Structure 1
Amino acid sequence: MDNKKIGNRIKSRRKELNLTLKQIADIVGVASSTIQRYENGTISQLKLPVLESIAKALDINPTWLVRDDAPMILNHLNKSENIKKQNSLELILLDSFNKLNKEGKNEAIKRVEELTYISKYIEENTNVIELPKREKQVWEEPGKEHLMPIASHDRNGEFTEEEYQHDDDLMDDEDFWK
C-alpha cells in the first residue's frame, strides 16, 4: 500500500473521531506537521513506531493502515490500551477546557452535562448492582393493617397532647442532641 493511501486512512479516521491534527500529535508525541505529512503521504520513510502510535490514538488496528486485507478495528484491545486511550481523550478534553475563560468553562460544563441526558452519548453501565427486592412486610398483607407501626410524630396515632409535647421538648433540647 502506498503512503498516500495510508495517509488517507489516517485522515479519514481522525475526522471520523472529530480530532484535530494537534490532538493526535499530542497523543503520539510528535509535531502537528508530522501528522499532517503522514496524512498527505509526503513522508518517504514511514516509521513503524509512529504508525503504531497513530493507530493507537485513532483506536484502529495498526496493520489496517498498511494492508488492505486487515480489519480496521480490533475487538481484542487489551484493557491497559483502552485505559491509555481513555486517558489520552481526557487529556485532550482537559487541555481544551483549560484554554477557556471562566464563562467558556461554565458553558462547556453545561454542554457536557446536557450530553449525559442523550442516550446515544451515554456509555452503557455494565456495573449496575441489582438490589434485592424488598420483602413484603406483615402489615402490608390485607387484614393486617393494624400491625403497621405508628411513629411518635404521627398525628393520626393515639397519643395525648402531653406525649406530643414531650416529643417536641426532646426535639428542641439542644443538650439532648450533643
Structure 2
Amino acid sequence: MSEKEISEKMQDIMSRMKKRREELDMSYQTLSDKVGISKSTLQRYETGYIKNMPVDKLEDIANALQVSPAYLMGWTNEVVDQPITIAAHFDGTEYTEEQLDRIKEFAKFIKQENK
C-alpha cells in the first residue's frame, strides 16, 4: 500500500470516527473515558496527528461508538447499533424480539429529546 493510499485510508477512518461520535452526540472526553485513553490522544487519532492507530484501540473506539471496526475501516457502510442492555427485569420474564425493538426505538426517541 502506498503512502497516499494509507493517507486516504486514515482520512476515511478519521472522518467516520468524527461522524459517528457526533451522531451519538458524544464529546471527546466521554469517548476517551469509554475507551480508556486520554482526550488528547483521541483528538490526535481523529485529526490524523497520530498516523498508526493500534488495532486494539480501533476496536475499543468502534465498540464505544457502537459500530464495527469494519465500519470505521470503510469496509462496510452499515452502521449496526450494539444491543441495548436492559438492567432491570420487572417480573423476571424475558423480553421478546418485538419488545426489544420497541425498547430500542423508545431509547432513541428519549435520546433525541435530550438534544
Measured against the shorter chain, the TM-score band is 0.5 to 0.7
User: How far apart in 1 are the matches of 2:35 and 2:109?
Assistant: 29
How much identity, in percent, do the aligned residues show? 31
1:1-178 residue pairs with structure 2 within 5 A? 2-67=9-74, 69-74=75-80, 77=82, 82-83=84-85, 120-121=109-110
User: How far apart in 2 are the matches of 1:44 and 1:24?
Assistant: 19
Write the deviation string for residues 108-163 of structure 1: whole angstroms up to 9, x where unpaired.
Answer: xxxxxxxxxxx9328xxxxxxxxxxxxxxxxxxxxxxxxxxxxxxxxxxxxxxxxx
Write the deviation string for residues 16-66 of structure 1: whole angstroms up to 9, x where unpaired.
Answer: 111100100000000001111111012121111101111111101111111
Match of 2:17, SS?
Answer: helix
Alpha-carbon RMSD: 2.6
Q: How many residues were matched structurally?
A: 84
The alpha-carbon distance between structure 1 residues 49 and 32, as it changes in their structure 2 partners (threshold 3 A), is same
The structure carrying a bigger helix percent of its residues is 2
Which aligned segments of 4 or more residues in structure 1 are displaced greater than 3 angstroms? none
Q: Which runs of 5+ in 1 are unaligned?
A: 88-118, 123-178
User: How far apart in 1 are the matches of 2:59 and 2:15?
Assistant: 16
- Where relative contact order (Cα < 8 A, 6+ residues apart) is larger, the structure is 2
User: How far apart in 1 are the matches of 2:24 and 2:109?
Assistant: 15
Determine if contact 1:14/1:58 at 8 Å carries over to the other structure.
Answer: yes
User: How far apart in 1 are the matches of 2:26 and 2:48?
Assistant: 19
- What is the TM-score when the length of structure 1 is the normalising length? 0.42
Deviation at 1:70, TM superposition (A): 1.2
Aligned to 1:176: none
Determine if contact 2:21/2:27 at 8 Å carries over to the other structure.
Answer: yes
Q: Which runs of 5+ in 2 are unaligned?
A: 1-7, 88-107
User: How far apart in 1 are the matches of 2:62 and 2:21?
Assistant: 10
Letter in 2 for 1:54: I
